[in-house]
Structure formats: structure tokens, C-alpha cells
Amino acid sequence: MKSHYRVVVIGGGVVGTSVLYHLAKGGWTDVCLIERSILTAGSSWHAAGGIHALNADPNIAQLQAYTIDLLSEIEEESGQNIGLHMTGGLTMAGTPDRWEWLQSAYRTFQSIGIEDCRLVTVEEAVALNPIMSGDGLLGGMWADREGYIDTTGTVHAYAGAAKKRGAEVIEHNRVLELNQTLEGWEVVTEKGTVTCEHVVNAAGLWAKQVGRMAGIELPVSPLNHHYLISDTIPALEKLDFEVPMTVDLEGFTYLRQDQKGVLLGIYEVDHQHWMMDGAPWEYGFELQQEDPDRIEHELTLGFNRYPALQDVGVKTWVNGAFTFSPDGNPLVGPVPGKRGYWSACAVMAGFLQGGGVGKSLAEWMIHGEPEADVYGMDVARYGIWAENKQYIKETTGQFYSRRFVMTYPNEQLPAGRPLKTAPAYADMTAKGCQWAQSWDLEVPLYFAPEGFAETPSLKRSNAFDIVARECKAVREGVGLLDITGFSRFEISGEGAEEWLRSILATKLPKPGRARLAVMLGEDARLKGDLTLFNWGDGTWWLMGSYYLRRWHMRWFEDHMGDGVSVRDLGEEMAGFSLSGPKSRAVMERLNADAATLPFMGCADFDIGLMRCRVGRLSVTGELGYEIHCRMGDHAMLRRALLAAGADDAIIEFGFNALLSLRLEKSFGIWSAEFTQGYTAGMTAMDRWIDWDREGFTGRDAALAERDGNGPARVQVTLEVDADGADASGYEPIWAEGQKVGFVTSGGYGHTIGKSLAMALVDADHAGEGTDLRVHVVGVERAAKVIAPSPYDPDGTAMRA
């Protein structure tokens, strides 16, 4: 062990060794891995080792596909046999909704380039897996690249390939302390102290303790997970092929062959946490006692699905712990506020996702950004509120218990809620507000009559007419929307303007004005679709998506300039938006001067008894005002606005209506039309770039895109011939049988009475009037490219 390394990776499981390998492959060879025991001594040794393509997050599904492709490469490079059995895989559906979802998921895979899948009938599935009963099944999806591996061999293959590239692996050496220094980190171990520029927490079951060594409370918890290995099954002895990896979604089980028996794994509803503060240091190759009584229901379903199990014994029980995050996805990336400290934790499907995690983290460290959009596993998707132990317990348990449970797009899950509410929450709830969660905050969806309950659905739900009424009121009268769920950052200091010119690609607004602001990475991919306010008193605001607060703050801090201060106002400020042709009349009753603000103007005004910051803009595409107040004034501001709008029949509305209204204006949103995977040119955000100004981040790459051949795909608006269901995102788009793009978001335009979608399509199919086809909940529908902003294309309403 040397005294200094560029990177120290802590943890010798599949994730740590993958990170080590990818760092060495990327050219950083002065790296080492430190393991307290021996490689695999954690969760890796007892993992089931299954590999499969399906994931609800398309970006993570792509990383899984990368991992699957990588496995044979590391086997060859290392010379270590990984026991790869590419049997193919089946995912089976046993309810009509699940079958619709699976058909839709199949199309999503096509959108992201995973082509080795196909839908199969029950009869085909039973032929592929003859020990499976087809009773109660409706259909399934087959994937070529699914199967299983030898987990211990795979970890040693990653490590061996890394060592061949110059990396070092140090076993039997527990990390005792982590101390941050000006140059990086001091890592105190049982065998001595080493220094490094970067430290990676890939400690698995011990991630919590390794985080606490650096003053970090990671939102992770281990949960126990059962599987059994059966004795020899005579029916398998007669086959001349291995049965495929099979997932029975309604049965909560997965199955793969194990010699001439099978491994049956269970995601039980009655979950069980284990050592929430992290595993004991001496723990390694132990297991928990099996608990068949707790998993009796799922076992019964499994033995009925695979009747051959009823005639043989159980050879081995495994009840071991894996570490989960609140949403089940990994926690990866630079930890905000701890420069040089990187997380590679909570990768509960390590052998499936470990390759993609290692690749992305290594790219992040070496190049400053990962190639893929990895927000779905970015550690910055959680704030300090997720450090709460009860929150972690509720949410990780909910994820585990629902691992194979059908979750609908419009379904609101209860764990960890309500966590944070705006002051008017109780008053709004009394008026029928139905809530969703954005980051830690409850945000309004719509206002329903007493006793209403929305039915979970893949199609238009029973809230459709409620949302339609809210849209109509905003378009024809005036509506009130709680916008506490927007992020607000205050920028001040003598260097504020210079810093904004460097970090934003857009012209800065003059005092008393606001402007849409584009923020780019060095490669011209988007880092934010923001709104910049110049309040005229030396302070500026950047506003954006509430759930990106920590993600954006990390970006700001990583690119901080001299003489500038950035403050997150998310705990201090709240607000409401007035929208609709009668919104000026409401504002006149409260403050006549505020009512005269020009379009995109902003200033401070007294609104009733409250001092507020007001901007003249609205995401609805109507005449509107955004009114920002202190958090404590929120409830009183609502009452003042409702009272002022009573004569104009003001109504409250929620974000479901806003989705419809913004689609009718072709206004994109983050996580759909705008992501860090897309460039400004692809998304038409380049029209806001100040091309004449030098020095802003991403300028060279943006110019290269503009002056070259342009983006291969561009954003368009589609009118869809839908029937009872609307596109939502990642549905493939076809032209004459060829895939030419995919939907970024969609919904119903209640004002124009049409199903709409925004999409990225090949540039040569983006012309207005182009006929296309799109899958909606798995059913192919006709679609046509239409001009942007099908409602009020000239913007007359919002500029009134």
C-alpha cells in the first residue's frame, strides 16, 4: 500500500471493483481499492446473480444493458470465468393492467434502443419454460440477454481486469477514519494512513458507517431478502436446455435454473429491515435464519406457479441483506458539500447495474460529467430531509414490498408523507386539494369534490373531467396555483452579474425584468431551463424545478466565482400564480401598480398586508402573475387572492391542469423535454442563447452544434389520434415501420380537445404535417407533427 493515491475506493463488492476497473480503463491507474475483509465479503457473495433488462427508469435500463454487454468483456480481459449463463428471460403478467403495462414497457425498450425483446403468448412462454404453469397468466415479454452469473467469479473478474490495467486491490484492511484535507482526503486504515484526491464509498452494507466517517448521512438501509435453491427436479434433467430467468410479477417471485434444480427468489410484501445503522464490522459471510412463515403467501404462489417444486426438497435457504435507497435506485455521484467524496451505494441489483454505475462514476470523476443522464441514481436527488431514520424506514420498506407490485402513473404512494407542507396546506385540503410529492414538498394536483378518490389507471382516470374544468376556468377566467413547489435561488454580491454571465448562456435581463435562462454543461447539454429575475436592487433570482434544488446547488457551488453568494430560498419563500384573462382585474383590486407590470416585468409590491415579489409571467400561456411571499405569509396571501378574485369566480387549480395547459403551448419541462442528456439545439432552447457573448459555459460545444450539421433529432409537437389514453413519455415513434423518435411527454389538451405529445424525432421527419405513428399504452396510434403552440400560437393571451 502506497502513501498516496489519486482515488481510494472503499468496498470490495461488485460495485467497488467495477468502479476501480472503469477508473483504470479511463486512464486513472493510480487508484486502489481497500476492503476490510476479502472481495465479495458482504452482499456480493450471496446475491442471486440474475441479470435482466427490465427497469421502470429507461436511463437505468440502458445502463443495465451496458452491464450485460460488459460481462463477457471483463471475463475475457481478466481471464476469470464468471459463469455466464445467457438463458434468456421471461417477465410474466397476470392481470389485464399488468399485461397492458408490459406491452407499453416493451415499446419503451424499443424507444431506448433495446431491440432484443419481444412479446410472447402464454403458450410460447410455457414452451420456453416448461416447468412453469400458465394458469392465470395473460402474456409475457421475452428478452434475449437475460440469465445469471457466478457472483464471486464476476467480482474477481472486475478486480482482475482492473489490476491488469494498473489498479491495486488491498484486502484485510478496514478503513477506520476519513478526514477531509485541503488537497482531498486522509484515509486512516488498519495498515496505515493514505491520502488521496478522491474517495469512493462503495461499502455496501457498511455504506452508512463510511458515510458517517465523513459527516454524511446517506439515505440507505439494508433489508433481508430470501431465496431458496431446490433439490434436483426430474423435469429439468430431461431438458437439453436451461430454463430462462423468469419473473412472475403477480407472484412476487423470480426463478432461474441452478444445476438441475432452481433458485426461487421472493420479494415479500411483509418486508424486514436489518441493521439500519449498518452491518457489524465483523459481519461478512453470515446469513440470517430463514423465516418461511413470514414469506408463506409468496412461497405458496411460487410453488403453484412452478408445480415441480412441490415434489422436491429445499437444498439451501438464503436470507441475506442488501442495501436499498428510498426509491430502490442507486445513490451515485459527488456528495454535495463534500468535495472529492463520491457515493456508489445502494446498488441493490449490483450484478445488473454495477457495470453502468462504475462506468458513469468513472466518467464523472475523469471528465466532469457522465455520458448518460444518470439523474435517476444521482445522490443529489435527495436532500437533508431524507436523512431522517423514520423516512428511510418507511420509504425503503415501501419500495421493497412493492418491488413486483403494479404502480400506476397517477398513483400517489404514502410512505414518508406528508413530510413538508406549505402553510396553506390545511386550508387547501379543506377545499378538496389532492396532493402529490415533489422532493420533500406536498404539491397540488387538482381540487376534487368531497369523497372523491382517483382510480389508479394507465389510461385517463376519473379525474379527467375535474382537470378539464380547471383548464376551462384558467383559459376563460382566472385560476390560482400554489407555486411553493418552484425552486428559488438568490444571487447577490459584487461578482453576481459576472458570475451569471459565465454560468448562463442567455442575455441577462435589465433591472425590473425577467428572462428565460439556459444553463449548459461544457458539452452543451442542458443543466437547467430556468427563469432569471433582476430585481433591480443588486439581487437576482434563478427559478426552476423544486426537486432539482440540491442538484442545482451542487452545480452552482462547483462553478462558484469570486464575490458572489448563492442562497437557496426553498425553506424561506412560497407563493401563488394568478393565471387567466381576468387575472389583471384581480391584481388591480390588490395593487393597481402591480397590475400594470409589463410582460416579463418584476418588482416588489404590497399585496394586501404582505410585501411580495411579483413577476408578470405564467407557464399556462395566459396573462398571469407569479407572486412570491415569505413562507409564513403563504396562507394569508391565498386568502387575499381568493377574496380579490371572488367577483370573477376565481378557482384553485393544480399541476395536472398545468400539464394540459403547457402542452397546448408546447412549453417543455425538466425531466421530460429538457434533461442533461439533451442539448440546447435538440430542444429548441438554443433560441435563447446569446451567441454574441463569449465566456459562458458550453459556448464552444453549442457553436459546434449550431455551425455543424445540427442535432440529429429535434423537438416537435404531435397531435395524436388517441382513444381513452394519452402518451406520457418514452413511447416510440414510427415512420413507415422505422423508428424515428420517441415521446418526451404527453397528455390531453382540454382547450383544443386533442391528445398532444411533445417528442424528439429525426430531423428529416420533423416537418409540420408529417404523418407518424406512436404507441400509446402499447397500442399503435396515428400521429401528425403540428406547428408549436396549438393554442394561441402568437402568444397574444400571455402578452395581453
pLDDT on residue 57: 74
State mean pLDDT over 209-238.
Answer: 97
Alpha carbon distance 623, 192 (integer Å): 66
- Which CATH number applies to 4-324: 3.60.20.10, 1.10.3720.10, 3.30.9.10, 3.40.50.2300? 3.30.9.10
Burial of residue 753 (number of CB atoms within 10 Å: 0-12, 13-18, 19+): exposed
Alpha carbon distance 700, 540 (integer Å): 26
Instruction: Give 539's DSSP letter.
Output: -
Alpha carbon distance 387, 380 (integer Å): 12
Alpha carbon distance 24, 27 (integer Å): 5
What are the two backbone dihedrals, phi and then psi, of residue 767, each rounded to the nearest 5 degrees? -70, 145
At 180, is the secondary structure helix, strand, or coil?
A: strand
What are the two backbone dihedrals, phi and then psi, of residue 568, each rounded to the nearest 5 degrees? -80, 120
What pLDDT, in 10s, does the model give residues 530-588?
999 999 999 999 999 999 999 999 999 999 999 999 999 999 999 999 999 999 999 99
pLDDT on residue 61: 83
Residue type, 578: L
Check pLDDT > 80 for residue 254. yes
Write down the mean pLDDT value for the chain.
Answer: 96
In terms of pLDDT, which residue wins out, 334 or 110? 334
What pLDDT, in 10s, does the model give residues 4-60?
999 999 999 999 999 999 999 999 999 999 999 999 999 999 999 999 876 767 778
pLDDT on residue 62: 84
pLDDT on residue 448: 98
At 655, is the secondary structure helix, strand, or coil?
A: helix
Distances in whole angstroms, Cα of residue 186 to Cα of each of 35, 177, 236, 600: 16, 8, 54, 50
pLDDT on residue 626: 98
Please, are residues 92 and 249 in contact by the beta-carbon 8 Å criterion? yes
State mean pLDDT over 674-691.
Answer: 96
What pLDDT, in 10s, does the model give residues 396-414?
999 999 999 999 999 999 9
Under 8 Å CB-to-CB from 355, ≥6 apart: which residues?
18, 63, 66, 67, 68, 70, 71
pLDDT on residue 52: 83
Query: Percentage of the chain with pLDDT > 90?
Result: 97
What pLDDT, in 10s, does the model give residues 118-174?
999 999 999 999 999 999 999 999 999 999 999 999 999 999 999 999 999 999 999
Helix (H) or strand (E) holding 527: strand 526-534
Peptide bond preceding 788 in cis form (omega within 30 of 0): no
List the grid coordinates of 489.
Answer: 435561488
pLDDT on residue 56: 66
Alpha carbon distance 366, 7 (integer Å): 11
At 233, is the secondary structure helix, strand, or coil?
A: coil
Please, are residues 504 and 534 in contact by the beta-carbon 8 Å criterion? no
Q: Give the pairing of strands 89-93 and 245-248.
A: parallel
Alpha carbon distance 195, 188 (integer Å): 9
Under 8 Å CB-to-CB from 373, ≥6 apart: which residues?
59, 675, 676, 677
